[in-house]
Each structure stands twice: as C-alpha cells, then as structure tokens.
Amino acid sequence: MSKPQLNDPSRNWYITAEKVSTSTTGSNLTLDASANVNIFSGTGPTGSIYLNTNAWFDGSANLNFAFGRGAYENTNQTSTSSTTLVLTSSDLFKTFPFNPATGKIIQMPAAATCKIGSWIEISNFSTTSNITIQDSTGGLVYTILYLSATGTVGGSGVRMVAVSSTGQTGSGFANNWVCGQSGGVGPTGTTGPAGLQGNTGPTGAASSVTGPTGLQGNTGPTGLQGNTGPTGLQGNTGPTGPTGQTGPTGTTGTMSKLYYYDEMWAEGASVNGLLGFLLSGSGATPTSTSGTAEATRFGIVRVQTDNSNTSASWTMRMPLIWTNISYFEIGFKGWPINTSTNTTLNMGLSDSRTGAAGNGLYVEYSTNVAPTGVWNVRVNGGTAGAGTSFSAPFNTQLVNTWLKVRIDNTNDDGSWSVTLTNQATSATQTISSGAGNKITTATQYFIGGLITCTAGAVVKVFDMDYCELQLK
C-alpha cells in the first residue's frame, strides 16, 4: 500500500521499522542510518502530520516531529537511569519521561533564571521506584511521583510551573516552582455495556497484506486535571462528648485596699468613726477649722495650738502596724503663718498623738531640734542616720509652699523609703532605710501630722489637704 493516509480515523496504524524505505527521495516513511524512523508528508519534513487517538509508539521510540501548524518540539526518550538529574533553564518547555530501576531525584532549575509561566513536564512509568522533585538546592521537596501499580499501563506525572510570589502571571522572572497539572492513572473501571454495531467499512484491496502487530507503546502523559466536583452533603452532627472534669480550685487571692481622704475638714472621727481623723493636743485644747477661702474651696483643714506652749495633731483614729501598710501619702503646707522659733513640725507615722513624736517614721522641720533649718527623716524617735537630711531645695522652711510626703513599705522587716515633693515645682528627693535604721514593725502607729512649740505663747498652725492610704 503506497503513500498511506495517516489521518484516516477509520484505521489503526502500527508503524515499525519493517518494510520502509531507506531512501529519503519519494518516500513518506524512511529509515535513516541510525535506525530512526522519519515520517514525512509530501516531499519533506515541513508538511503537516495528524496522529489520531489510535496512534501509539513503543517505549524505545525517540521521535522528532516537525509540525506545519506549530513550533518544533523534541520529546525525550524514556530514561531508565536512577542518577540524580539537575535541570537548567535550557530544559524549559520539555517533557521528561522516566522508568528508573531505583528511586530517582530531579532538581528543578533555579527559579530566578526562568520566566514566569515557564514549565517542565515529568512522568514516572516505573512500577518499582518513586521520583522525588526538589528545588535547585535540593533543600525543598516539591512533590513525589509515585510508582505505577503493577500490571497497569501508564504512570504518574506533573507539570511544574515557574511562578512569582507577587503574582501568578507577568513578564518577569519567577522565584518559585509550583505543581501545575498532575495526576496518576487510577484503577481500571468496570467494562461498560457493548456499543451498537457500527456500519461495515469498505472492503479493502484483495492484494493487501496485513502487517505484523506492533509493540504496545507507553501511555502518553496524564491529561489536564478536571474541575473539582460539587461538595457533598454535610453529614449528621456526632453525639456530644462527655463533660470534662472540673479543674482544681485556684488559690485565694488578696484584695488590695485603697483609702483616699480629700475633704479633710469633713474627715473627723465623729462622722467617720475609726476611718476618720482625730484632733488631739497636749497642755491645752487645740482647734481645727476650714479657716480660709482656700480651705473652704478645697476642703483643707487647718490645725492649730492655742496660745500656750502646747502641741496639736490631726491623725487617723485607726492605728496600724507596719506590715499592714503598703504606702501612704499626705499633702500639707508646713508653715503658712507664725514661723517663729521653738517650733517643730512632724508629718508621717508616729506612735504619739499629743507630744513630740516618739517611735515612728516621719519627715521633720524644726527651728529648735537638731538638725535645724532643714527637712530630714526621723525613725524610732532618732535621726535616721548619716545622709538622712534632704538637700536643696529642701534645706529651707519653704514658707507657704504645698508639699507632699510619701512613705513606702519596701519590706515587712521594717525597710522603707521616704519621698518629699514640692508640689509647685515637682522637685523630688527620696531617702531610703539602711541596715541599722529600720522601723519597729510590731508597734501601732497613727498616720497624720503634729506641730509642737516649746516656748512663746504664739499660735502654731499647719494645713493638711489630703491623705492617700494603700493597705495590703
């Protein structure tokens, strides 16, 4: 049969290296010196050849196609090598079929050398070994092409596509590879019902001779993956699991207690009981008053002695021990009027309401008790030790200046810190306890202020604005 028509869909063609011409002149099928079969249409390799769905080639075929309607493509011969294969950008747009005897590794080209959208197809027809596809460094596995089921035709395959992390398309270079179309041959389905009997084809020429049956070729690469089917119906909700055991009860926390006394002229013990303040004195009856326009507006109390050599104090009625106190703060004005000699002002924590402050912890300014003319810290009736006097600007009386003192319990063993602040300028200094000047912890103390005079029948006064107390 001369010049057979390969695009006749009614015939199956089995092309072998038998009974073909070895001359390239006037023949559509030629066999060259290397035993390669070349198929032409017309007089040369520029013609168009259509291979229908019945065309196949055996596993040793190395085919070169010259398509009249498309670009030239060379499909590589199936390789049985198990050696690691490193691909480069010159391998783009090619198909690589493999049938390795043992596991094989294929490393993709460096993504940065490949344009976005470039692809390489890889197929595995082995029934004994897997193919692992890695990046160009071998440090990342993209996918594994698993071996074919024994006795089946075909295998697994994938199209690797170069992409960019900032977009899936574009004209720039890629920075990664992804698996595009991939899949493996599934199990053979059940045989469908017999189709209708087709029309009888035309009778062939009597002189035709049936050629030998060719070898079965390898299955071509896996087709494109179909669309995902619709989501199945949601199953019934499973039964509710058993209730878990109750966790252990946490430890009981402590509640911090904060007291804030602002309207000082209204904080008397007669109104507030143990939580109120108590006016005390010695040698005469002291007085307290809201006294001035400033006091009336802001609730400030003024505490004063009478004209005798006496003392006057404004202290909290409820006594406290050191370990119950976290901190307290008092706002006061120490010398609003009558800043004469023989006068001492204490502001802080003392075990005495009526006389010169005894045990306790307080700031002091005195014109007759050393050290005089400077604000200092006293603890347990004596000076707190070397370095416990405040320096400038707290080395003067600070007449008619609102100050505040804050005393912190830094440790229940009697350790403390005393901070003195000028409320007008925000100037602040702090003095802390040392190993030998800790406050006695078991004594009951009163929080407040005390003013005393030792000579001179002159009224002595101090003003108190607020007291803030934080208990443990």
Cα separations (Å) of 282 from 34, 220, 243, 354? 131, 115, 71, 5
* Residue 134 falls inside a structural domain: yes
Specify which of 12-16, 84-88, 126-130, 171-175 reaches the highest per-range mean pLDDT: 84-88
Contacts of 148 (CB under 8 A, 6+ apart): 124, 125, 126, 127, 154, 155, 156, 184, 185
Q: Last residue of a domain, which of 135, 161, 184?
A: 184
383 and 289 assigned to the same domain = yes
Residue 164 DSSP code:
B
324 plus 463 within the same structural domain = yes
Contacts 24+ apart (CB under 8 A), 92-95: 92/118, 92/119, 92/120, 93/118, 93/119, 93/120, 94/120, 94/121, 95/120, 95/121, 95/122, 95/123, 95/221
Residue 23 inside a domain? The answer is yes
Q: State how many domains the chain has.
A: 3
pLDDT greater at residue 362 or residue 229: 362
Residue 118 domain flag: yes
Q: Judge if 67 and 93 occupy the same domain.
A: no
Look at residues 16, 43, 74 and tell me which one is the last residue of a structural domain.
74
Q: Please tell me whether residues 17 and 92 are part of one structural domain.
A: no
Count of C-beta atoms within a 10 Å radius of residue 15: 19
Percent of the chain residues topping a pLDDT of 70: 62
How far lies 155's CA from each of 76, 78, 97, 123, 256, in Å? 17, 12, 10, 7, 74
Report the sign of the C-alpha dihedral through residues 42, 43, 47, 52, in that order: positive
Q: Is residue 232 part of a domain?
A: no
pLDDT in tens, 358-391: 688 999 988 888 888 889 998 987 765 555 789 9
Question: Where among 19, 51, 74 does a domain terminate?
Answer: 74
One domain, residues 344 and 390: yes
> Do 156 and 48 lie in a common domain?
no
Q: How far apart are CA 368 and CA 441, in angstroms?
A: 29
Q: Are residues 63 and 159 in the same domain?
A: no
Residue 371: cis peptide before it, omega within 30 degrees of 0: yes
Together in a domain, 179 and 80: yes
Is residue 347 domain-shared with residue 366, that is, in the same domain?
Answer: yes
What is the DSSP secondary structure assignment for residue 296, as one 8-state letter? H
* CATH number, domain containing residue 150: 2.60.120
Q: Is the pLDDT confidence value at 190 over 80?
A: no
Domain assignment present for residue 399? The answer is yes
pLDDT digits (tens, 9 = 90+) for 427-469: 999 999 987 889 999 899 999 998 888 776 677 888 888 899 9
Residue 49 confidence (pLDDT) above 80: no
Residue 219 lies in a domain: no
For 28, the domain range is 1-74
- Average pLDDT along the chain: 75
Give the H or E element holding residue 242: none
Are residues 295 and 411 both part of a single domain?
Answer: yes
Q: Which pair of tokens denotes residue 260?
A: 């804030």
